[in-house]
Amino acid sequence: MKLELEAEVVELQNQVDAAKAGDAMAVNSDLLLKLEATEKQKSALKLELRARVDELERRTLERDLSTETAETASKQHLESIKKAAKLEAECRRLRAMARKAPSANDHKFGYASSLYVESLTDSQSDSGERLLTLEADNRKMSSVELNGCEPSCSDSWASALIVELDQFKNEKVITKNLTSSSMDIDLMDDFLEMERLAALPQIDNAKHDTGPGISSDQHNGEDCQHKADLEAMSERMAELEKKLVTVEVEKAELEMALAKSHEQLEISQNQLRGAEYKLVELQRQLEFANDSNLETEAEIKVAIVKREVMESQLIAMDAEVRTLRSKVGLLETQVEEERALSAEITAKCKKLEDELSVKRREANLRKTASSNGESKIKQEKELAAAAGKLAECQKTIASLGQQLKSLATLEDFMIDSEHSLEFNGGALVPRSDEIWKSPPSSSDFVPERNTDALKTTPLDGSGPSLDGKLGQSPQSSSSSTSSSTSSSSVTHAVASEKSRNGFGKLFSRSKTAIRLENQ
């Protein structure tokens, strides 16, 4: 029985360990797989987020650069507009100075302006009619000067020429839609150069008017100088025309570059918005991955708590098994004590039975040998003493039988509990307070040892008392002795049968316990 209990306990413990290991391994493997997947997803999202952030920074830098270039271009445009305004103011000042000049210089100024207009007609074919009218006006001015007109008329013609030049310049600027500040600056430079060259012959004419006694050779030298100045002015105008063409080309290139920069700025802004949207999406995915990681960590914690609970249950079961083993050992010691005590009692019973049989034989011999009353009384006393001893032995045997019956019922109860454990199969080991709810004390297994067991006490119905025996005849005494002998033999047979049954059960249990201990 002990071996079976230990085998069942070991089997149940193995099943618990296997189930615990299987559940723990399954849960841990699933959680580890989920954790690895989330870690990989998290690292991938981090790399993608880093790449997106780098791309966003690059595009932001490109946008800032394009914005800076646009700002520098706008600043240059504003500076060119300011310079043009300054040049306009300078031109007005020069016009005012030209109106105050003497009328004698109007002819040369008109001639220089006609040369300037001719140089402009070569580059601007669309304003030819206006240039022809200007030449006609200049011829009229020269003829009027040769005829000796008044200075006021020459001043009016000079002012009209300046107005015509201003209108021509304004029309040219309007045809170009005021798009190139550099071209305006070059035109103003050309006008200033023309004013400067026109002012030189005026100064010479003023000197010529103040000194009427200058020789004709000096006048011819001045004419040659004026021609050289006019040639230099024409070359300067050609260079300025070339520069104007290059400036227009540069202006077109700058406009194209500005348009491209605006397009790139719009593209970079669109890409920036897309990158911001992707960044928000990646942050959302990262938050989702963090939430899933937290859930897996919570599941791992729950699994660890379950494992600790199962380990605590296993420890409690081990402690209960140890207590059961200690109780089984205590029972084995009690069985050994009962076995030794029963052996001692059986030896005493046999000894008493032998003595009783000897006494009976002696009594029979004495009865047949002599019929003396004293011998009969002595014999009856001895028989009564032997009957008392036999009654004590029978009482002891009866108490041993009851104790053996209680042991048998305890063994049957343990067998039934084992069967119920095998039938249920849910619990590992039955609880100790259920199996050993009313454990037998050692006083149930140990018989009461009466110190007066060997005293002679009469038994009811087992034999007559001394007073009743004294007045009887030998025949009645012999019949009574025979009846007492028969009754004692019957009771002895019953007691021996009980003792055999009880000792058989006890010996079978002791043998089973010995086999369990050996195994």
| Local mean pLDDT, 10-residue blocks, the chain (519 residues) | 65 69 64 76 80 81 80 77 75 74 48 45 46 52 44 45 52 45 53 58 47 53 70 75 77 80 80 81 83 85 88 89 88 87 87 87 76 67 83 82 76 64 44 40 39 37 36 38 42 45 44 45
Q: How far is the CA of 261 from the CAs of 67, 255, 256, 266, 269, in angstroms? A: 8, 10, 9, 9, 12
My answer on whether 114 and 216 are in the same domain is yes
* The last residue of a domain, from among 248, 274, 300: 274
Distance CA 84, CA 89 (A): 9
Whether 329 maps to a domain, the answer reads no
User: Does residue 473 lie within any of the structural domains?
Assistant: yes
Whether residue 260 sits in one domain with residue 127: yes
Output the pLDDT for position 475.
38
Last residue of a domain, one of 266, 293, 313: 313
Query: What does the buried/exposed string (b/e) look like for 313-342 if buried means 16 or more CB atoms within 10 Å of the residue's CB?
Result: eeeebeebbeebeeebeebbebbeebbebb
Are 247 and 260 in the same domain? Answer: yes
Q: Assess whether 254 and 188 both reside in one domain.
A: yes
In a domain, 198, yes or no: yes
Same domain for 300 and 245? no
30 and 69 in a single domain? The answer is no
Looking at the structure, do residues 9 and 150 belong to the same domain, yes or no?
no
Residue 395 lies in a domain: yes
- Helix (H/G/I), strand (E/B), else coil: 456: coil
Q: Do residues 111 and 237 share a domain?
A: yes
Q: Residue 206: what pLDDT?
A: 45
Residue 25 lies in a domain: yes
Return d(Cα 35, Cα 38) in angstroms, integer.
Answer: 5
Do residue 21 and residue 68 come from a single domain?
Answer: no
Do 139 and 228 belong together in one domain?
yes
Q: What is the pLDDT of residue 180?
A: 46
**How many other CB atoms are there within 10 angstroms of residue 53's CB atom?**
13
d(C-alpha 432, C-alpha 308), whole Å: 24
Residues 138 and 10 in one domain: no
- In a domain, residue 426? The reply is yes
Q: Give the model's pLDDT for residue 135.
A: 53
Write down which residue in 274, 302, 332 finishes a domain: 274
Check residue 220 and give its pLDDT. Answer: 65
Sign of dihedral through CA atoms 508, 513, 518, 519?
positive
Domain count, the chain: 3
The answer to whether residue 192 is domain-embedded is yes
For residue 288, the enclosing domain spans: 2-60+282-313
In a domain, 494, yes or no: yes
54 and 69 housed in the same domain: no
